[in-house]
Structure 1
Amino acid sequence: MKNLLNEVSRRALALFDQAIGAEQPKLYFNPQGEFKRIFEHLPQLRRKYRPTPWLANTHAHLLYFDLIKKRRIHLSYDRTDRLIMQDGGVTGIAWLGTDLPPDAPTIVILHTITGTPESMRELVRDLHRHTGWRIALCLRRGHANLPMPVPKINLFGSADDLREQLAYIQEKYPASALYALGSSAGTGLLVRYLGEEGQKTPFKAAFALCPGYNTESGFKNVHPFYSKMMTKKLFQKFIEPYAQTWQNTASLAKVLEAKTLFDFEQAYFEMAGFADYSSYNQSTNPIYVFEQVEIPLLVLNSEDDPVCSIHNFDPYKAVVRQLRSVAVVTTRKGSHCGFYEGVKETRSWAAKLAADFFLLQAASERL
């Protein structure tokens, strides 16, 4: 009788998992590289990711993440520092955990396409809780209502600005080991920077959450609803509040015609400080330096992501399997940056994976 009940339970769970899309993550990596050892010590990847049952639909998952969960997180940052870049532009760093010992590790977070300290609170909180480390959320130009004395923005961020922000962080906490996480558009900056720096980066390890890979083509695959909605947000966040800043921008009229993210990204190169799209793309697109990443970089994508489509990864699967320092994990469900699990109380499966990865790398550094 007991065996019969166990078999019934097993089959019921299998049917339930099938219904909600629960599967063990797929791993893409070079078995001769660094991630063979790393994956052996991340048990989370040997179990199924079971999304919150009532968020199995990709759109429900994303809308819950963006419209409900973000607004329920209560978090007060310790402070936000404004930084003046070499050209006079303004960026910022929002801090959590400044009361920790000076040698406590610091996770540098690179935010989403319209990210702010408020929109990033859940990820900041989760990484701080899981690791006990300091968090430095690097704010790009034009985000979080920062002044824009210099007419320059970049949807993915500037590697040069990031270098200045990192120099500031290292000046504040010279004994702190640095780790990095990029979320959505922030992964573009993360990978671009890591590829440009190679072994010179101060980061010990990095995590890319829901990248779009090739920024020249990735926006073509965004679901039309989200593409149009996010384009409107770009106007609301970066164009309309800074109307005087852009009044002498020759290409402004073309940018204002954009209806989709792809159109916007193709047209706004002058706002990013470039004379044409080609030079902008060559200087910003992470895919051109992807293979030059030298530190452990763990990438996570969901196969049902309606914003950063899994199809963006397809051309690079074979490349990843040749790289020693880069691995990609994909899950059947998770939507865009959500990856919620649990029923009554939702929690981020992705944040736990990133934290465990960082803790594992920190432990290996001490050996």
Structure 2
Amino acid sequence: MYFHQSQTRSSPVAPMSALEDGDMGTFGPELPAMFDGVKLAAVATVLYVIVRCLNLNSTTAPPEVVHQVTALSRYLFKSCPLLTKEYIPPLLWGKSGHIQTALYGKMGRVNSPTLHGFRKFLTMPDGATATFDLFEALGDHSTGDDVTMVICPGIGNHSEQNYIRTFVDYCQRHGYRCAVLNHLGAPPNVELTSPRMFTYGCTWEYAAMVGHIKQAFPQTLLVVVGFSLGGNIACKFLGESPSNQDRVLCCVTVCQGYSALRAQETFLQWDQCRRLYNFVLADRMKKLILSHRSSLLGLKSSNIGDVELSKLYAATSLMQIDDSIMRKFHGHSSLKEYYEKESCLNYIHKVSVPLFLVNSSDDPLIHQSLLEIPRALAEKMPNVMFVLTQHGGHLGFFEGAMLLPQPLTWMDKAIVEYADALCRWEKNRPAFHHQKCLNINMNLVLLLSH
């Protein structure tokens, strides 16, 4: 105290210096602690963001299964363990629907096998050339039957996509022949021979492939499989005519949106970054269309001209591309008409074969409101089973322990497991029906004898 007073008398600047020295002496030890606290808070914030973004606090669970209690559903629960087991994605990133979707979009699958098949070319009535790839089974099916998977891929996809290759190889090893549609305009180095490409719900090429398979293999039974947009086409095809369901054992769709109109409306929203996904998908679709620019412009009877292409260049959403280009392939007068007529929503209730509809709760492309469609169907229709996983993203469904995903996904295994169960059900059903008739006849005999 005396030291500070003497400094005050000798120099007017001294008190401030002394005060600063005193402050430094007083607060100096606390400053490092303060900085440590800021660092700790920053680290905690980053960790919190990581936990939230990766959804690490989410628990794993078995899928939610919506169904009516029938003999078939009871049989399926006994025959398909994946319906009651937890789906466990890779621990560090697998609970994020965005990362699952991004990995699917970027690499499709891990270590996809090389397939050996041959390509079929089918000429359509309007001059279009449909193509599909055929892959024979690599062994006998467990039931001994001839069964063919007729597969419709996602938007702008074909048989060379990694997720298709992985799935087909797995099916082949389980005794299934596989036919994979190449969406019109999607395969590289295959030119368009008519002024149109694939659309959201045009079933012409898929119907041609299925018809060819039925004719080429008269004894084969069919398992209809559709991924994303392909799921819409598959369900719409089956619902368009009862004859389309002949020899079809079942239909499986994964990550479809059911209603194009409602799906595109949600694609304009920013929640779950759907507007960003919309922009990315629109950019890919734009490049695909422009790669066929000469065919679309040069062929006769084309509805696409320079005006439509100028709108395409400026498009930033799928809805804009659909309005300027896609709806005009089939002469739809409005975007609303295009979406309504090309959605399976108006056809799926006419499907009588078993339907296995799979979606993921964290799929950033499919709004939660769209999932009420398959839920309502499963609650009303005894042939429909709606399976909703907690994780999986859009066509991801990767499995793994910590970081690296496995080559096979939960989706691949679930489809084949369900198809195997339906094949066994169909093979044994005549025996069950015969035994039931025998029991009824025996009861009648006993009743009459008394």
Alignment partner, residue 294 of structure 1: 352
Identity of aligned residues (%): 19
Per-residue displacement from partner, 1:111-145 (whole Å, max 9, x unpaired)? 0102122212122223323x221111011211103
Consecutive unaligned residues in structure 2, runs of 5 or more: 1-54, 268-273, 429-450
Alignment partner, residue 87 of structure 2: 49
Per-residue displacement from partner, 1:304-353 (whole Å, max 9, x unpaired)? 00122333112553343001211210011000111111225513111111
| Preserved CA contact (<8 Å) 1:51 1:333 | yes
Distance 1:191 1:322 in 2: 17
Alignment partner, residue 40 of structure 2: none
Q: CA deviation at 1:214?
A: 0.4
Distance 1:268 1:33 in 2: 47
Consecutive unaligned residues in structure 1, runs of 5 or more: 1-16
Q: More deviation in 199-208 or 44-53?
A: 199-208
Distance 2:110 2:76 in 1: 34
Q: What RMSD in Å do the two structures reach over aligned CA positions?
A: 2.4
Q: CA deviation at 1:270?
A: 4.0
Distance 1:294 1:225 in 2: 37
Alignment partner, residue 259 of structure 2: 214
Alignment partner, residue 214 of structure 2: 170
Q: How many residues align?
A: 349
Distance 1:345 1:252 in 2: 41
| Preserved CA contact (<8 Å) 1:20 1:50 | no
Residue pairs, 1:193-342, within 5 angstroms: 193-198=237-242, 200-202=244-246, 203-222=248-267, 223-237=274-288, 239-247=289-297, 248=302, 249-250=304-305, 251-277=308-334, 278-342=336-400
Q: CA deviation at 1:265?
A: 2.9
Q: Are 2:138 and 1:105 aligned?
A: no
Give the SS at the match of 1:360.
Answer: helix
Distance 1:59 1:285 in 2: 26
Do the aligned partners of residues 99 and 242 (structure 1) sit closer, same or farther apart at CA in structure 2, a change above 3 Å counting? same
TM-score (norm 1): 0.87
Q: Are 2:232 and 1:188 aligned?
A: yes
Do the aligned partners of residues 220 and 40 (structure 1) sit closer, same or farther apart at CA in structure 2, a change above 3 Å counting? farther
Letter in 2 for 1:194: L
Residue pairs, 1:1-16, within 5 angstroms: none
Do the aligned partners of residues 334 and 21 (structure 1) sit closer, same or farther apart at CA in structure 2, a change above 3 Å counting? farther
Alignment partner, residue 351 of structure 1: 412
Bigger relative contact order (CA 8 A; separation at least 6): 1
Residue pairs, 1:52-201, within 5 angstroms: 52-54=90-92, 55-70=94-109, 72-97=111-136, 104-119=146-161, 120-129=164-173, 131-145=174-188, 146-198=190-242, 200-201=244-245
Give the SS at the match of 1:122.
Answer: helix
Q: CA deviation at 1:99?
A: 6.8
Q: CA deviation at 1:210?
A: 0.5
Do the aligned partners of residues 67 and 141 (structure 1) sit closer, same or farther apart at CA in structure 2, a change above 3 Å counting? same
Letter in 1 for 2:112: I
Alignment partner, residue 46 of structure 2: none
Give the SS at the match of 2:241.
Answer: helix
Letter in 2 for 1:242: H
